[in-house]
Amino acid sequence: MSSVPLNIDGRDLIGKPGQTILEVARENGIFIPTLCHLKDTTNVGACRVCVVEVENARSLVASCCMPISSGMVVRTDTPKVRASQRMIVELLWSSGDHNCLTCEQNGVCELQDLVYWLKIDHPRFAIQSPGHPVETTNTMIQRDLNKCVLCGRCIRACNEIQVNEVLDFSMRGSHSKVGPAFDADYIDSECVFCGECVNVCPTGAITFKQARFSGRPWEMKKVRTTCAYCGVGCQIELNVHDGRVIKVTGNREFGQPNQGSLCVKGRFGMDFIHHPSRLTTPLIRKKKGGELTEATWDEALDLVSKKFEALKKQHGPDSIAGLCSARCTNEENYLFQKFMRAVVGTNSVDHCARL
């Protein structure tokens, strides 16, 4: 059997065997909120924000975990569903310190989205933050578990996507917490700072520390580009504000080769872009043994071309050689070898790729 007929919110739909209610709904543009669900990882059914009513089922079911069956009749928007979702969200809200005023995720927080979507003014329960100390012991990732909704997405990202196997739940039950083994801070654990957990956290519980107070989500321009480090060529998003790269995010929509995953270099290795030691002007050494002094582009390029021409004339084109770069673009490498061959007249052009 290759197709499964079912009905969601009064629409007759066809799903494939093995699909969940959530998957079929999403494919057909029917919105069901989720929180703990993370694509391509195990469906754990932890948050129950995705509940729906299924005809003849005794209670509400978690749509992210429930496989479809032939003739199933599903409703995503009944008062019972909404009441249940509201209860869950109010509990989550009241059991944390969700102060959006200073939160880096303000505007892109999935808890905030749920509160707004469910039109909740106030949680019916008194707000009681667990009072976890904020973890600021490394420069890359900040953790404020008072904003954690225990969805477990970070854990699955670390174990199932990056397979770094660092994070887990500890102290199960009412004092449940996520983090590295033995309640260690990231910096004291086996964490390799890939940042996958930050990327998938729905709230402001895990955030990029260097980016704090440097630009709010809606002020950020996201520019898709390719990582400048290793040969994997990960697709990355540079988050730019005020002419500066503030942070680097992954985007699973970009597909191959990295499906949104990055490593520590692509994620946290971009400080060099705005570093004060960057060269900003051409430099010329007027005489051998002298100092390098600032020059204009015209002075510098005139000098280079005159010297190359003189060497070529006196000692032949093979007295000049060039090294292009495994770190420059294709366009630049192409032009460089074209320059060496067509303009200088030598094939002595290589790069340090073997090294």
- Indicate whether 213 belongs to the interface with another protein (CB under 8 A): no
What distance in Å separates the CA atoms of residue 187 and residue 138, rounded to the nearest whole number?
6
Compare residues 194 and 349 and give the one whose CB is closer to ligand SF4.
194
Compare residues 79 and 290 and give the one whose CB is closer to another protein.
290
Compare residues 21 and 324 and give the one whose CB is closer to another protein.
324
Residues 174-195 as b/e (b if ≥16 CB within 10 A, e otherwise) read: eeeebbbeeeebbeebebebbb
User: Would you say how long the chain is, in residues?
Assistant: 355
CA distances from 145 to 29, 37, 91, 174, 250 (A): 33, 19, 16, 14, 22
Among residues 199, 157, 192, which one has the least CA distance to residue 178?
157
Torsion angle of the four alpha carbons 82, 83, 84, 90, in this order, in degrees rounded to the nearest 10: 100
- Indicate whether 189 belongs to the interface with another protein (CB under 8 A): no
Considering only residues 3-62, where is the footprint of ligand FES by CB under 6 A? 34-37, 45-50, 62
Considering only residues 57-116, where is the footprint of ligand FES by CB under 6 A? 62, 64
CA distances from 119 to 23, 98, 151 (A): 25, 16, 22
- Indicate whether 156 belongs to the interface with ligand FES (CB under 6 A): no
What distance in Å separates the CA atoms of residue 23 and residue 304, rounded to the nearest whole number?
62
Compare residues 14 and 283 and give the one whose CB is closer to another protein.
283
What distance in Å separates the CA atoms of residue 337 and residue 321, rounded to the nearest whole number?
10
Q: Output the smallest distance, CB 92 to ligand FES, in A.
A: 11
Beta bridge partners of 51: 62
- Indicate whether 279 belongs to the interface with another protein (CB under 8 A): yes
What distance in Å separates the CA atoms of residue 195 and residue 313, rounded to the nearest whole number?
55
Considering only residues 79-138, where is the footprint of another protein by CB under 8 A? 138
Considering only residues 183-222, where is the footprint of ligand SF4 by CB under 6 A? 186, 191-197, 201-203, 205-206
Site string for another protein, 16-55 (x = CB under 8 A): ----------------------------------------
Compare residues 152 and 215 and give the one whose CB is closer to ligand SF4.
152
Site string for ligand SF4, 143-182 (x = CB under 6 A): -----xxxxxxx--xx---x-x-xx----------x----
Name the residues that contact ligand SF4, by CB under 6 A: 148-154, 157-158, 162, 164, 166-167, 178, 186, 191-197, 201-203, 205-206, 227, 229-230, 232-234, 258, 262-263, 265-266
